[in-house]
Amino acid sequence: MKSITMRVLWMLILIGTLGACASITRDESLRVNLYNYSAAVRWNEITQAAGFVDPETQAAKPFTAELRDRWAKVQVSRYLEGPSSYDAQGRFLQTVQIEVIDRATQSVRTVVDHQVWRFDPAGPTWWLQSGLPELD
């Protein structure tokens, strides 16, 4: 009887551990995507940053050569992550302040980017549903 109880206990622990690993993987995936996306924006690798945009968003609002040229005219000098949370649909919401310097005029301005990230379990990966930040 004691042996059966121990087996059931070990099975419950194993199931709990596997469930925890799945959530860690999802959280770790988000952390990695946020880090890589922010690095791409910080280093003005906007084409690389566009690779994080949700395919549905990309279809509705494609990354054009005009947009790439616009980003080439500025230099990112600061990327400051602000408040973040999850919404009812499980999407990750984050506000980021991006300070950019116009290369021609050397004027500095701050762009506020309200990011929405959604998890795609088929990937499994996180996609930037809100698209690239607007510079205008």
Structural domain boundaries in the chain:
2-128
In this prediction, residue 1 carries a pLDDT of 55
pLDDT tops 60 at residue 23: no
Fold of 2-128: Nuclear Transport Factor 2; Chain: A, (3.10.450)
Model confidence at 25, pLDDT cuts 50, 70, 90, reads confident
The CA distance from 15 to 120, in Å, is 23
For the record, the structure tokens of 99 come out as 């300070």
pLDDT at 122: 87
Specify the pLDDT at position 26: 87
C-alpha distances out from residue 75 to 6, 44, 46, 105, 129, Å:
61, 7, 11, 12, 24
* pLDDT tens, position by position, 30-61: 999 999 999 999 999 999 999 999 999 999 99
pLDDT at residue 2 in the model: 61
Cα–Cα distance between 55 and 60 in angstroms, integer? 9
Average pLDDT, the chain: 87
Residue 17: pLDDT over 70: no
Q: Would you state the structure tokens that stand for residue 11, as one six-digit string? A: 């099975």
At 110-132, the pLDDT tens digits run 999 999 999 999 888 999 999 99
Q: How many CA atoms are closer than 13 Å to the CA of 50, on its beta-carbon side? A: 15
pLDDT at res. 123? 82
- How many Å apart are CA 61 and CA 128, to the nearest integer? 13
